[in-house]
Structure 1
Amino acid sequence: MSLSEKLNEDMKLAMKSQDKFKLSVIRMVRAAIKNIEIDTRKTLEEQEVLDVLTREIKQRKDSLQEFEKAGRDDLAENLKAEIVVLMEYMPQQLSDEEVKAIVQQTIQEVGASSKADMGKVMGALMPKVKGRADGKVVNTFVQELLV
């Protein structure tokens, strides 16, 4: 079952079970997907749907930090719950150790030796971890390992 089909099925289940919160989160994501499909005039492929989900999660994580700084715990809790719902549709996330191993392997593959090679490393690395690791975490490990 594709990601779009899973979103549709889960939306129907949320309607039947009257889970209004999950229903609203799924509708938000489906609306974002539909907007891109309208703009590009084509149906999104699995990887593109995953990109939309990743973007939605990133937006919520960024907003979550701002709400926590402002002391808006009520809004922060709501965003945390939305992130949990969205993470259900993401592939299994890599652990920090797995990310670090992939970063080390990629650094060796591209022959990087200094921070000047960071762009080259990130360019080769991101397709390997796309959707399975947060870009900020990957970037941190690359900076740490490139001296």
Structure 2
Amino acid sequence: MSETSNPTTGTLKERISEGIKTAMKARDKIRLETIRSIKKVIVEKETEVRPKGQDQLTPEQELELLAQQAKQRRDSIEQYRKGGRDDLADKEAQELAIIETYLPAQLSPEEIEAIIDKIIESVGASSPKDMGKVMGPAMKELKGKADGKQVQEIVKAKLG
């Protein structure tokens, strides 16, 4: 199931349109449904920002939107697994994998730790009380590049 277009070139909207065409040609139902759901969220968000004088989403807004979609899928997977609904969890996992093709590459735990170490040093954090001081800058720097829960766990372990 490889994309014929490179999911990292062009605007997100262009990449989504290409993805829809590719999925239709391949008769890939789950990919098509997932990409259409992303397009729907993009259109809704664009409608939301239009009154503010913005014609289209900024790359940061696109990244945030995709990260939210990925987080929703991760949360659903966790809930479905807890509820013994592996069939639904598997479908969400497939959708998550498709969404991740449109996100920037995720950082490895080692790369995340290195960034968090720098932040801890720069804000002078030394105990679990300083978690807030570290999480703000960490999430800002790692937005879209790492899962928030993973970042939180690493920060907790480093300050604990």
TM bracket (short chain): over 0.9
**Of 139, 151, 158, the match for 1:126:** 139
Q: Which residue of 1 aligns with 2:11?
A: 2
CA-based RMSD: 1.2
Unaligned runs of 5+ in 2: 1-9
**Of 113, 128, 140, the match for 2:153:** 140
How much does 1:2 deviate? 2.0
Using the size of structure 1 for normalisation, the TM-score is 0.94
Q: Which residue of 2 aligns with 1:71?
A: 84
Distance in 2 (alpha carbons) for counterparts of 1:27 and 1:127: 28
Does 2:43 correspond to 1:34? yes
Which region of structure 1 is more displaced relative to structure 2, 95-104 or 41-50?
41-50
Distance in 2 (alpha carbons) for counterparts of 1:77 and 1:137: 21
Taking only the aligned residue pairs, the percentage that are identical comes to: 43
Count residues in correspondence. 147
Distance in 2 (alpha carbons) for counterparts of 1:113 and 1:20: 50
Q: Which residue of 2 aligns with 1:90?
A: 103
How much does 1:16 deviate? 2.1
Structure 1: which amino acid aligns with 2:116? V
Distance in 2 (alpha carbons) for counterparts of 1:58 and 1:144: 22
Residue deviations 1:21-65 (CA, integer Å, cap 9, x gap): 111100001101111111221311111111111111111111111
Q: Which residue of 2 aligns with 1:15?
A: 24
Runs of 4+ in 1 over 3 A off after TM superposition: none
Using the size of structure 2 for normalisation, the TM-score is 0.87
